[in-house]
């Protein structure tokens, strides 16, 4: 019994010595790691060994002792040097602040920890394919505190080091302020458009209720004057009839302008009716044929979406009249689950959508940029395609919810 007790004490003593030894070993390894990180940051070493599935690999930090390290550390952008498998060999202090992690937890770790699964899949081929030529991508980094940071990442292959290991440089730019400014500008533009629509409505009401009525009254008076002229005054009678005809044309033009400023048909009958009427009026005025193929929507679209599509349609037709020299225009209004699409195609001359001068010729016209802004207000997008011999197509896509419709042709 005494022998067993003595043996038990001996085993316990060995176990305690083993734990102490293991703890001391771990402490020593941690100290070495911390010293290595400190040395890399200070430029005292020019290489680092990274353990991987294929064994340990040595990466050299060429030029770590040079003065431009100070420049990189003082940058307002994050700077990274990573391997092709996204191990971070170097990160500046700015990047650590951006992702809200201590620098010692960033260096030597994986860049994957800051990416969503979707962004990892997007970044992987980009690093392999585009690193040599340089490329940029926008995404959101997942920070250490759980927040997400919108950034733009510029990727460039760096010179291979002495171990012939490929490293990739990344410059990470914080887009938070830029996105905030864009949102504020978009909100301001939206308010301007709303004020513009309100003013259009007021002017349209004034034209309809006052100017048109006055013109109609003058028209009736001119007819009365023509009827009262004696038969022998044929010349004066012809002039009075011409005056009456001119007044009638003026009244019609004022009424057309009033309808374009604030289409009452849009509020009363919906988008399809107003597109049809606008197409007929445009064809009569310009001689350009307009064919509409629209879906019949049993449920009305939201008013802001209908107005957006109508205004873009107006602008597209105006561009056709002023610039395209087209003879035919085809318009398609279609729907899918949760999406309405308007396509306006003309057979006129092409242009470069990125350098289109049309929007600069008349300040009152929306222009392509404003088309995109209007669509963006309601969560939609505008795409413009133009090629020689193929004309121009403007495609508007706006999500709105599920609506069923039956296609029908309107000529």
15 within some domain: no
20 within some domain: no
Please say whether the beta carbons of 366 and 311 come within 8 A.
yes
Radius of gyration of the chain (CA): 36
The first and second tokens of residue 178, run together, are 């830029």
Domain boundary pick from 145, 174, 203: 174
90 contacts: CB under 8 Å, gap ≥ 6? 40, 61, 79, 80, 81, 107
Instruction: Report which DSSP code applies to 355.
Output: G
* Residues 406 and 275 reside in one and the same domain: yes
Q: Which domain holds residue 141?
A: 43-174
- The pTM (predicted TM-score) of the whole model is 0.57
92 C-beta neighbours (distance < 10 Å), count? 24
Residue with the larger pLDDT of the pair 240 and 47: 240
* Residues 303 and 361 reside in one and the same domain: yes
11 within some domain: no
* Residues 278 and 410 reside in one and the same domain: yes
Please say whether the beta carbons of 370 and 296 come within 8 A.
no
* Residues 295 and 385 reside in one and the same domain: yes
Tokens 């040097």 sit on residue? 81
22 within some domain: no
Distance CA 102, CA 19 (A): 30
- Of 166, 171, 170, 157, nearest to 83 by C-alpha is 166
Distance CA 25, CA 13 (A): 18
* Residues 166 and 118 reside in one and the same domain: yes
The 10s digit of each residue's pLDDT in 20-32 is: 566 666 677 667 6
What's residue 291's pLDDT? 93
Domain boundary pick from 231, 262, 293: 262
17 within some domain: no
Distance CA 310, CA 278 (A): 9
What's residue 409's pLDDT? 41
Residue 329 pLDDT greater than 90, yes or no? yes
- Of 228, 344, 355, nearest to 291 by C-alpha is 344
Distance CA 144, CA 164 (A): 33
Domain boundary pick from 133, 153, 174: 174
Instruction: Report which DSSP code applies to 295.
Output: E
Tokens 């941690």 sit on residue? 30
Q: What is the mean pLDDT of residues 65-90?
A: 78
* Residues 61 and 130 reside in one and the same domain: yes
How far CA 143 is from CA of 100, 148, 171, in Å, comes to 6, 6, 17
The 10s digit of each residue's pLDDT in 335-393 is: 887 889 999 999 988 776 665 544 444 443 457 887 888 888 888 999 999 888 888 99
- Domains identified in the chain, total number: 3
What's residue 67's pLDDT? 54
With cut-offs at 50, 70 and 90, classify the pLDDT of residue 397: very high
38 within some domain: no
197 C-beta neighbours (distance < 10 Å), count? 15
What CATH number does the domain containing 411 carry? 3.30.565.10
In this structure, what are the phi and psi dihedrals at residue 32, rounded to the nearest 5 degrees?
-65, -45
Q: What is the mean pLDDT of residues 4-32?
A: 59
The overall average pLDDT reported for the chain is 78
Say if strands 391-399 and 406-410 run parallel, antiparallel, or are unpaired. Answer: unpaired
With cut-offs at 50, 70 and 90, classify the pLDDT of residue 143: very high
26 within some domain: no
SS3 per-residue string spanning 23-71: HHHHHHHHHHHHHHHHHHHHCCCCEEEEEECCEEEEEECCCCCCCHHHH
Q: What is the mean pLDDT of residues 256-273?
A: 79
Please say whether the beta carbons of 108 and 88 come within 8 A.
yes
129 within some domain: yes
């Amino acid at each position: 019994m005494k022998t067993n007790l003595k043996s038990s004490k001996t085993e316990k003593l060995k176990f305690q010595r083993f734990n102490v030894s293991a703890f001391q070993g771990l402490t020593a390894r941690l100290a070495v790691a911390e010293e290595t990180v400190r040395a890399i940051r200070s430029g005292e070493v020019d290489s680092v060994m990274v353990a991987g599935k294929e064994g340990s690999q040595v990466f050299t930090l060429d030029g770590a002792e040079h003065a431009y390290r100070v420049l990189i550390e003082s940058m307002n952008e994050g700077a990274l040097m990573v391997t092709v498998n996204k191990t971070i060999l170097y990160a500046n202090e700015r990047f650590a602040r951006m992702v809200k992690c201590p620098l010692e937890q960033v260096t030597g770790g994986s860049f994957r920890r800051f990416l969503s699964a979707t962004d990892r899949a997007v970044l992987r081929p980009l690093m392999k394919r585009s690193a040599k030529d340089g490329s940029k991508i926008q995404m959101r980094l997942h920070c250490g505190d759980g927040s997400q940071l919108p950034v733009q990442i510029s990727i460039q292959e760096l010179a291979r080091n002495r171990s012939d290991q490929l490293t990739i440089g990344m410059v990470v730019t914080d887009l938070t302020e830029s996105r905030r400014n864009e949102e504020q500008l978009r909100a301001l533009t939206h308010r301007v458009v709303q004020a513009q629509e309100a003013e259009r409505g007021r002017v349209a009401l004034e034209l309809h209720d006052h100017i048109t009525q006055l013109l109609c009254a003058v028209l009736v008076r001119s007819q009365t004057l023509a009827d009262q002229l004696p038969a022998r005054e044929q010349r004066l009678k012809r002039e009075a009839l011409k005056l009456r005809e001119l007044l009638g044309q003026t009244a019609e033009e004022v009424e057309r302008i009033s309808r374009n400023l604030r289409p009452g048909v849009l509020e009363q009958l919906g988008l399809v009716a107003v597109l049809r009427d606008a197409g007929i009026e445009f064809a009569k005025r310009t001689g350009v044929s307009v064919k509409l193929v629209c879906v019949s929507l049993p449920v009305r679209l939201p008013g802001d979406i209908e107005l957006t599509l109508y205004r873009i349609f107006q602008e597209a037709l105006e561009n056709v009249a002023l610039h395209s020299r087209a003879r035919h225009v085809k318009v398609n209004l279609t729907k899918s689950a949760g999406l309405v699409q308007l396509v306006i195609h003309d057979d006129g001359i092409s242009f470069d959508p990125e350098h289109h001068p049309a929007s600069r010729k008349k300040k009152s016209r929306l222009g392509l940029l404003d088309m995109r802004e209007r669509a963006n207000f309601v969560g939609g997008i505008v795409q413009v395609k133009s090629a020689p011999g193929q004309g121009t197509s403007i495609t508007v896509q706006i999500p709105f919810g599920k609506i069923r419709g039956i296609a029908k042709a309107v000529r």
